[in-house]
Amino acid sequence: MSEASAPHAADRRELTAAQRNAVAELLRVSPVADELGRRFVRAGHELHLVGGSVRDALLGRLGDDLDFCTDAHPDETLRIIKGWAESIWETGREFGTIGAQRDGLRLEITTFRAESYDQVSRNPVVVYGTSLDEDLKRRDFTINAMAVSLPDHRFTDPHGGLADISAKVIRTPSTPGESFGDDPLRMLRAARFAAQLRFAVHPDVHLAMTEMAADLDRITAERIRDEFTKLLCGADPITGLRLLVDTGLAERFLPELTGLKLEIDEHAQHKDVYEHTLTVVENAVSYEEEGCDFILRMAALLHDVGKPATKAVGSDGRVSFHHHEVVGARLTKARMKAMRYPKEVTAKVTALVALHLRFYGYGRGEWTDSAVRRYVADAGDLLPRLHKLTRSDCTTRNRRKAAQLAADYDALEDRIARIAAEEDLARVRPDLDGNAIMELLGVPPGPVVGRAWKHLKEQRLEHGPLDRDAAEAELLRWARAEGLIS
């Protein structure tokens, strides 16, 4: 590979190592990439591996999704890959992108672009470009503005992306103002890359993000949601979240997070609720067993959003936030709906926020077996996440208190395991089903059956499993009390 722009002398040794690493990564996929490149060349067109694929190769993390750019238009691309690709999809055709699969690799081939925003619309206006240099200049960041030509492996880096990878810095090919003016979502993407790659944004980029934060309002909720989800699932979400708050971007789509900076927690510690929240997110990440658990991370992020609205100062000067979990659950549901998250995801995060305080008080010895059953029943399949969220929420610097809270929760989990071994806590249901209720009471399907089922479930939670005779006797007792039978 040959560089299109020479790196600084001080970077030569590290960058040479990076290039060697990139060559090794590219050789892994080169049989398919080079074969595709030869097909385009024979058809009289260019093909370049580009963007995130080149960046990830330099970082030693190239996956099975490869991005290419070409001077061929979509119809021509289809003709070139037809009969060669194992499968083809055209979902991105309106943006000049054709997708294909070959030998386990997913390939996206996009026509050179010179797209821009008209400063009013929420979606890009796609205009095909005519050269690789033009295409690279319109990309979001220098680390994504490098290319490897195929099949000759010529390396093109007109904006110093290789040096920026070495320096772990996020810059734009054009001025930040021009780049963010074209696509304001790039400001959020800068924070996302900071979280994913553990890179710092250049001071000029940070300034433009701050000055242009309001431009994010031009972007659809769905595009913001997708970028934010990637940020929160990054290797270092805390860095990304701080960027959102510090630049004012969070205020445009997640103002509850910024609002936490105004509150001091109920323990009158030096940390405000915002800092506590970031620590809880960090703790939650450490409890993940495999990959990103977005539901857990989002619940950790939003678990205290109800505090600003419930803050009260007592006569002794202590701060309290009574019922903030109830208010927080309501705010969480509304915010995630506004961000267009799926209902199922929203429901799970909301439930965790509502339940995150339930454990406190357990250590005082006030919980009966009935309370434990209700804890498990209310959490349902969210119980493993609730365990992690509750433990993550312990951020006290008081070692004795932290140790006591951990011991208390260990005791609760042990108690849950003991009761679960004796009863079927995974499925806390009444001891009689609907058919048995209808047969015993002689009633048809309807509200009466629902009421009876609910009563028996309450008995199950309160007293544990009943045998068949005891369950039937309890149902008849309830029916008589309700005037349903004599």
- As a whole number, the mean pLDDT across the chain is 85
User: The whole model's pTM is what?
Assistant: 0.80
Could you tell me which residue, 87 or 469, shows the higher pLDDT?
87
Q: Residue 148: how many CA atoms within 13 Å on its side-chain side?
A: 25
Give tens-digit pLDDT for 304-358: 999 988 887 777 777 778 779 899 999 999 999 999 999 999 999 999 999 998 8
Could you tell me which residue, 94 or 438, shows the higher pLDDT?
94
CA 66 to chain centre: 23
Give tens-digit pLDDT for 259-300: 998 655 554 444 589 999 999 999 999 999 889 999 999 999
Residue 429 in this model has a pLDDT that exceeds 60? no
Q: Which residues make Cβ contacts (< 8 Å) with residue 91, sequence separation at least 6?
A: 99
3-state secondary structure of 72: coil
Nearest of 159, 148, 192 to residue 58 by alpha carbon: 148
Residue 64 in this model has a pLDDT that exceeds 80? yes
**Overall average pLDDT of the 194-222 stretch:** 97
- pLDDT at residue 16, as a whole number: 57
Q: Dig out the tokens for 134 from the structure.
A: 């033009």
Could you tell me which residue, 26 or 479, shows the higher pLDDT?
479
**Quick one: the chain helix, strand, coil %, rounded to 5?**
60, 10, 30
Neighbouring C-beta atoms of residue 452, cutoff 10 Å: 24
Indicate the domain borders of the chain: 9-167, 254-426, 429-481
- pLDDT at residue 207, as a whole number: 98
Could you tell me which residue, 205 or 273, shows the higher pLDDT?
205
Residue 122 in this model has a pLDDT that exceeds 70? no
Cβ-count burial 12-26 (b if 16+ within 10 Å, e if not): eeebeebbeebbebb
Least confident of 284-298, 375-389, 396-410: 396-410
pLDDT band at 417 (very low <50, low <70, confident <90, very high): confident
- pLDDT at residue 15, as a whole number: 47
Ranges of beta strands (E only) in 279-394 are 312-313, 319-320
**CATH, range 254-426:** 1.10.3210
Fold of the 9-167 domain: Beta Polymerase; domain 2 (3.30.460)
Report the percentage of the chain scoring pLDDT > 90. Answer: 52
Residue 7 in this model has a pLDDT that exceeds 50? no
